[in-house]
Chain A
Amino acid sequence: MTVSHHPDRALLLDYATGALSEPFALVVATHMALCPACRHEVSAMEAIGGAMLEASTDCSQAQPEDAFARLMAHVEAVPGEHAASQPAINDPALAAIPRPLRDRLPASPDQMPWRRQGPIETVFLPCDVPGYRVRMLRIAPGRGVPRHTHRGEELTLVLQGAYSDATGHFGRGDLETADPTLDHRPVADPGEQCICLAVTSAPLRLTGRLGRLIDHFLDI
């Protein structure tokens, strides 16, 4: 399996610095679980952060004299942390979903409460960040999602099967970024259901006279 559509570097950098919103970070981290190349890229970005930390010595104010003693008094009262081991998963469809996403699914993909919306089925995942929608999508083999545009940015990650749209072919691990200018109509490959994670951001807040005019007509 080769992933051929990656998040752009700006998105990876936002993830590496911690500035990326949690719903988009979920898509990026799930992609990274399937893409060693992007993990490597993010590690290099973290190394830049590490070097910046190393070089941050312009602070003339010394640590308070008793800082280390206070820290030790605090940490010795709390035991060290050990990562809890994960239970094995017997359901193969669930086991194929990388952990950052799997931990948030209500059930195995086969048993989730899919809701039919025309040719596609959706399950909304809980999301407490205002303005974002986090959905699982299931497209029947050979069927298409109705033509649509976006008000905000949409990240779509393929987990099973594949689809094509005007911009290319997307298989497992591939991530498509769609901004409001993209008018697309994904069609699933024949032969296999296509299951995706799709996260849509808060609508862009358009400013200026033209922006307000567009805002007025884009009522989705």
Chain B
Amino acid sequence: MNCDAAKERMSERWLHGLDESRRIELETHLAACPSCREESTALNALWQAMEDVPTEEPGRQLRAGFEWMMQAYRMGVAESSVRKRIAAPRQPLWQLAVASLTLVFGLVAGHLYTARTQDQATIAQLGVEMKTMKHLVTLSLLRQESAGDRLRGVSFSESMSATDDEVLSALVRALSNDPNVNVRLAAFDALTRNPASPSVRKGIRDAITYQESPLLQIALIDWAVNNKDRGAMDPLRQLERQPELHPAVRVRLREAIRSFQ
């Protein structure tokens, strides 16, 4: 046994263990080869030590997210894009077996080969051109008729760690168009959890002029003040000109405009 074979054998031992004869072969080599012996001792111990690296249990968000995904999927939003059939038509292997035996091997091998490369291609494409799970769930829930579902959409967007432009623009849309004030409020909170990108900033500034709910108006005014967003000055002045403004909002608005000067 040479050193390369010994290394492969060590690796084999970590996972499967070795039967008597294979173990003796390895140990014979180790006895004769100090460098492999050293490596074996150290790496065996390291393999053991890896046991001690802890893993955390998944939180309940994981299950909730999965359930929402299934629900969102059933709501049919996904249907149109999934319809794209990329896989080759599947044929039971026995149909191929009616062909001559020599052909079978060729066909089966070929079938499996193309299937595998297609899998790889399809899956690799995903990250680039297909939408993610977060899109599916957030965007489909935000489109639901039920305000409770749309709220869940907003809350789902918050549960994921990565930010995503398309989800952010869906939240901006919710802030500006959602018929329910509580959903708009939640969307605003979700948008302001992270430092706003220029497009989100613009969405929030725009909202200042047309939000009619005093709760939202005050939240937006506070956002402008806290972020020292000078770009919000024009929308704030526009808001000030609205005659039917709630008195509490007007007080807050005047303070805000003053703080900018």
**B is a partner of A:** no
Binding site for B on A (CB under 8 A): none
Binding site for A on B (CB under 8 A): none
